[in-house]
Amino acid sequence: MTALYDRLATLAGNGTLPDAFRYAFFVRGLLSVALLAPLLGGLSHVVVSRRLSFFSAALGQAALTGLTIGVVLGEPLNAAYGGIFGFCFLSALVMVYVQRHASLPPDTLVGVFLSFTLGLGICLLVAVTKRFNIHQVEAVMFGSLLTVTDTDLALLLGITVLVTAILAWVYNRLLLDSVAPVFGRKAVLDYLFVLLLTAAVVVSLKVIGALLVEAMVVVPAAAARNLARTLRGYLVLSVATALAAGVGGLFVSTQLLVPSGGAVVLALSVLFVLTLLAGGVRSFLARGDAGERPAQ
Average pLDDT of the residues of the chain: 79
The pTM assigned to this predicted structure is 0.81
Phi first, then psi, for residue 117 (nearest 5°) are -65, -35
118: CATH:
1.10.3470.10
As a whole number of angstroms, the distance between CA 244 and CA 153 comes to 20
Range of the domain at 130: 2-291
Report yes or no on 219 lying in a domain.
Answer: yes
**Count of domains forming the chain:** 1
Q: pLDDT digit string (tens) for 197-216?
A: 888 888 887 777 776 777 88
Q: pLDDT digit string (tens) for 52-83?
A: 777 777 787 787 788 778 877 777 766 777 88
Q: pLDDT digit string (tens) for 257-274?
A: 777 777 888 888 899 999
DSSP state of 208: H
Report yes or no on 296 lying in a domain.
Answer: no
Would you state the pLDDT for residue 132? 58
Q: pLDDT grade, residue 289 (50/70/90)?
A: low
As a whole number of angstroms, the distance between CA 264 and CA 250 comes to 7
In 10 A of CB 236, how many CB atoms?
15
Report yes or no on 37 lying in a domain.
Answer: yes
As a whole number of angstroms, the distance between CA 163 and CA 166 comes to 5
Give the closest residue to 236 by CA, choosing from 228, 244, 247: 228
Report yes or no on 7 lying in a domain.
Answer: yes
Report yes or no on 137 lying in a domain.
Answer: yes
Would you state the pLDDT for residue 131? 60
Phi first, then psi, for residue 147 (nearest 5°) are -95, -5
Would you state the pLDDT for residue 185? 67
Report yes or no on 237 lying in a domain.
Answer: yes
As a whole number of angstroms, the distance between CA 220 and CA 53 comes to 12
Report yes or no on 49 lying in a domain.
Answer: yes
Report yes or no on 88 lying in a domain.
Answer: yes
Q: pLDDT digit string (tens) for 226-245?
A: 888 887 888 888 888 888 88
